[in-house]
Amino acid sequence: MADSSRIIIIKCDKCKSKIFKYEKVGRGHILRCYKKNILEDHAVYENKKVLCSCGNKIGVDKGKFIMMNVVHNV
């Protein structure tokens, strides 16, 4: 059975601003966002850092993808 894709909105954890509109393929957590799957990009880029407009760090630009800052609430 093939995994289906879905469109999700990734928001800042701090201010709830929209960061990405992203086409998610497959199951599981979003650990990295592949640039080819980003449909809308509202992030701020400073060198390799990917930030929200409020200054909150979202991830690190690794070339083909953005390695996301992931916080697991246990």
Q: Are 50 and 58 in contact (CB under 8 A)?
A: yes
Token pair of 42, please?
């509202």
Q: 65: which residues sit within 8 A by CB, 6+ positions away?
A: 32, 33, 34, 35
- The one-digit pLDDT tens for each residue of the chain (74 residues) are 456 889 999 999 899 999 999 999 988 888 999 999 999 999 999 999 999 999 999 999 999 999 998 765 44
- How high is the pLDDT of residue 1? 46
